[in-house]
Chains A and B, each alone.
Chain A
Amino acid sequence: MFRNQYDTDVTTWSPAGRLFQVEYAMEAVKQGSAAVGLRSKTHAVLGAVNKAASDLASHQRKLFRADQHVGVAIAGLTADGRVLSRFLRNECINHSFVYESPLPVSRLVVQLADKAQVCTQRSWKRPFGVGLLVAGLDETGAHLYYNCPSGNYFEYQAFAIGSRSQAAKTFLERRFQEYDTYSREDLIKDALFAIKETLQGEKLTAQLCTVAIVGEGEAFHIIDQQTIQEYIDAMELSTGGPDEEAAAAAPPSAETQEGGEGASSEPAPMDI
């Protein structure tokens, strides 16, 4: 899209009824490295590609836990993403404090969307430049939402955002009909395959991606690198790709709770 005279302020409409600044913010999301999400009735999986600015740098954190039952994957301006994750965490804690129960995911995304909307209607603010895939579990089952910089949010069975996400979306579109009944292991495998699609040729290793899962009886946590590598190896072993269940080396990961957010083997990325 090209510059025009209606795109300076977020509070300026174009004659065609568009807010260009908001649309430019959505462009920022498309520039970020990919993130994918998918869900079944009982589990939701988030995956992200770990792109480092250079070989010297560590990669940026893209998966954040908001509460035991909710987590987010971000794409776009990671600084904005961190700030929003902090907001999500606060909202979850405040709700639990007052109501002694977990904040339903649908309410959380509405609060997030309202916060994003504010920035599209103030002349002294700018829209957040980050898209969030919110995955969570509540009384009504597992959910996956996508929150835009525009303040819109949508529920999805599976989705991908960021650069080269179209390849992942195409893959997910072919398979999402069965996701409701997928087992947790199959969900993880499909997430990894979707991430692989965005890499377009580059070999998928556990170093290159981060995967997190939340589900019934399982708090939101990032799956450790070793388990991910085992899933990847199992996928490569089976000739037909993810369609065949290579039961060989795909053990369910130990349900680690609390602070072990992928901090085991990696040099710690910039934690919030």
Chain B
Amino acid sequence: MAAVRVEEVLSAAEEQEAEKRRSVVVEKELELEFDLGNLLALDRNPPPAAALRGAGPRREALLRALARDNTQLLVAQLWELPAERAGGAGGPLVARLPEPTFRLPREKPPPRPRPPTRWEQFARLKGIRPRKKTSLVWDEQAKEWRRRWGYKRAGGDPARAWLAEVPANADPEEDQFARLRREKRERVARNELNRLRNLARAHRAGTTVPAAPLHPTGHQSREELGHVARVARVSTASLGRFQPRLPKESAEPPSRSGGRKRRFEPLLGNLAAERSRQLEMLRDMGSKKPVLDITRAVNKQLRQEEAEAAAAKGKKKQSQRGKRGRRQQRVGRSGKKSG
């Protein structure tokens, strides 16, 4: 009888052990937080600090038990997700993950939407939509499908064109081949100019952000830095008069108009001058020919010439320096760059 009871007790104990080994239930004080999009679980329960302070193997066993419990909970959550069999009936079971909720910083700042180019604006206005072109075109002469442009294009290599018709309204002495070459060059240059203009427009539109603070990652331009420094100086209770300054900076705080002064005539005074001014204005308004202000025109022309010269100089310097020059500009700071 005692033997039977012992057997019963042993089998009951064995069953209990097996149950525990197969159980998927985990008891925790605080619920874990899950972010299934990242396969992440956060356990807020304080771990048993005293027990973990002990020696090696015991600590490892405790850590492993803790990890096992947490992993069990995470896997239970993952198994709750809607799952389907990928690739038909026999494929592996695949669960659909939700979007990750844990906020992580981006790698690069989000791209700014670029303003539409002149062509895009026009197309939108007129309702022109891009037409899909076929990649191959039928070439009548070669009697086969050739590509639209590039190597072995339909219509032959334009550089090897041996015939150039003289159009009816052209000068018979003119060199047609030279004309074709010149026109192609002009087309290419115009294209490049328009592309750069579009880029410049996009860049200008991007940087005119009104009251935005300075970009913290060092992408400020010189003008931006100067502007912000000026504004910062004047933003004190005494409007910048008692601010600590650099040795060469002026004692006067920067004026709002930036050095330009406007002078106005006194309101009451010279009647004759006022009368002549008004009559002149009326005459200019009534005249058929547009009035030319010589001074303003000359100044405008000079400024334009200066700007062009500066741009050309800048471009020439850049193209002269080339790749080596650009790299040399950066090497100065850190010594050897190995890796």
- Do A and B interact with each other, yes or no? no
Query: Interface residues, chain A, CB within 8 Å of chain B?
Result: none
Query: Interface residues, chain B, CB within 8 Å of chain A?
Result: none
